[in-house]
Structure 1
Amino acid sequence: MKTGRETEEDFRLHYTEKGEGMPLVLLHGNGEDGSYFVRQIEFFSREYRVIAVDTRGHGQSPRGAAPFTLEQFAEDLRQFLDEMGLSRILLLGFSDGANIAMIFALKYPEYLEKMVLNGGNLRPSGVRAGAQLPIVLGYAMVAALSLLDKKLRRKKELLGLMVTEPHISKEELLKLCVPTLVIAGTKDMIKASHTREIHESIPDSCLCFLKGSHFIACEQPEEFNQTVYKFLKEK
């Protein structure tokens, strides 16, 4: 396995790469990094060139000076792909990574061969109340304390992404022509009805629920990997 950085003039995204073949880009969730996909990297690198990216302000990627938004993360991905010379990829996003993937697909569908959305949501209300309420309360508390402690500003930004974003239109998704697998856990923090809404909004997409929570890629790696692999291999 090798690691590297791809640069623009004044900003660098960290990534981990393994394998050869069709590029499969992995986008982690909020507050995580590419290592979340350790079991996916090992499995898919047998046949694909797997690239796990640390998004802006996550893992070993710097915060930079640009806005800390999912829209910006999608722009970062586009620039990263251009710098890597990747014009056609498979894209798998988890949680906020799935939201970034949807935003990216709407702006740059020409880059995508296929897309996998794991535990994504179109808007904050797509998260179950029992999971979202602690996030909202935590954000309010950290936002207040960050006025006194600069070290809390990063946590405020991270929580803010889950409280204020995303805002993805179903009408926009209806225009997508990217083959897509929508996959979530049976006990996901995303409402099952909301996951179905995403599936129903993306033409000809596939829907799959696996037994487990929001983190099925870690909890059920063999079943998750096989489900994704079958989708990627379908003509």
Structure 2
Amino acid sequence: MYEFQPEFVRCGDARIAYYDAGRGKPLVLLHGNGEDSSYWKAQIPEFTRFFRVIAVDSRGHGASEAGTRGLSFELMAQDLKTLLDTLGIKKAYVLGFSDGGNLAIKFALMFPTYVDKLILNGANVEMFAGMKPHFQLPVCAAYGALRVLGRFSQRAARKRDVFGLMVYPYGVVMDDLKKLTMPTLIIVGEHDIVRDSQTKEMAARIPHCRVEIFRDGDHFVAAKQPSRFNRTVVEFLLGR
């Protein structure tokens, strides 16, 4: 991924991989569905100039084990708390992309004292109403096929569990966002797969929130517009 090697922490029935680099205030990076911490390869060299970066491979992703209890955002939020407790970190900046943004929301609701500032890149609350049909319908179709194939293939079963994170509600509703009292930044692309109405409603519910829309950007603005993305994140976190 980059020059750092993963470290591991035991979280119940699974070993969770993370990458720890840089010095300063901790900044946790959470990747999207089906990805791993390598998604942040254009961010980590820049962010480590200012922060101690902790990039986590979510349960069932990358170098992290899936365990035996299936995958859920609640379980992954517990994993993140265990990781931070193991590292002696009681408060951090948290940046999540896509499913990682949903995980960041779940974590911030479950363990609010751990989150200093929150950045949500391409996150959503409502799985169907929040996503554009050209994305969500194929995801649901693929999940249905994987449910069948998963009966015969362990590999398909693992992929089914990962896809399921994009299909089922994750225990958060819009009204819950009122509880996110930490400073929050939402980043989306002008042509994101998240509906504009979803982003606007989320921003309206979060008490201290602003939205940054990347012109001509899609869902993957961190990878495709890294200079602007990195500058936006650093300026928000440092209060510039």
Q: Same fold (TM over 0.5)?
A: yes
Determine the C-alpha separation between the residues in 1 that align with 2:77 and 2:13.
Answer: 17
Determine the C-alpha separation between the residues in 2 that align with 1:9 and 1:109.
Answer: 22
For the Cα contact (< 8 Å) 2:70–2:161, is it kept in 1? no
Q: Displacement, 1:200?
A: 0.9
What TM-score comes out, normalization by structure 1 length? 0.96
Determine the C-alpha separation between the residues in 1 that align with 2:22 and 2:14.
Answer: 26
Equivalent position of 1:191 in the other structure? 195
Q: Displacement, 1:173?
A: 1.1
1:156-183 C-alpha deviation (Å, 9 max, x unpaired): 1111111113341221111221110011
1:144-202 C-alpha deviation (Å, 9 max, x unpaired): 12223332101111111111133412211112211100111111111111111111111
Higher helix share: 1
Determine the C-alpha separation between the residues in 2 that align with 1:181 and 1:68.
Answer: 27
Equivalent position of 1:13 in the other structure? 16
What TM-score comes out, normalization by structure 2 length? 0.94
Determine the C-alpha separation between the residues in 2 that align with 1:28 and 1:227.
Answer: 18
2:229 to 215, 224, 228: 224
For the Cα contact (< 8 Å) 1:89–1:112, is it kept in 2? yes
Q: Displacement, 1:91?
A: 0.3
Identity among equivalent pairs (%) = 41
Equivalent position of 1:117 in the other structure? 120
For the Cα contact (< 8 Å) 1:7–1:83, is it kept in 2? no
For the Cα contact (< 8 Å) 1:23–1:50, is it kept in 2? yes
- How do 1:1-235 and structure 2 match up within 5 A? 1-3=3-5, 4-8=7-11, 10-125=13-128, 126-211=130-215, 212-234=217-239
Closer/same/farther in 2, CA of residues 224 and 81 from structure 1, 3 Å limit: same
Determine the C-alpha separation between the residues in 2 that align with 1:175 and 1:27.
Answer: 21
In structure 2, the gaps of 5 or more residues are none
Determine the C-alpha separation between the residues in 2 that align with 1:99 and 1:139.
Answer: 19
Determine the C-alpha separation between the residues in 2 that align with 1:43 and 1:104.
Answer: 25
Determine the C-alpha separation between the residues in 2 that align with 1:175 and 1:147.
Answer: 40
Aligned length in residues: 235
In structure 1, the gaps of 5 or more residues are none
The residue type paired with residue 20 of structure 2 is E
Closer/same/farther in 2, CA of residues 9 and 71 from structure 1, 3 Å limit: closer
Determine the C-alpha separation between the residues in 2 that align with 1:206 and 1:62.
Answer: 35
Q: Displacement, 1:8?
A: 4.4
SS for the counterpart of 1:189 is coil
Determine the C-alpha separation between the residues in 1 that align with 2:170 and 2:17.
Answer: 24
The residue type paired with residue 20 of structure 1 is R
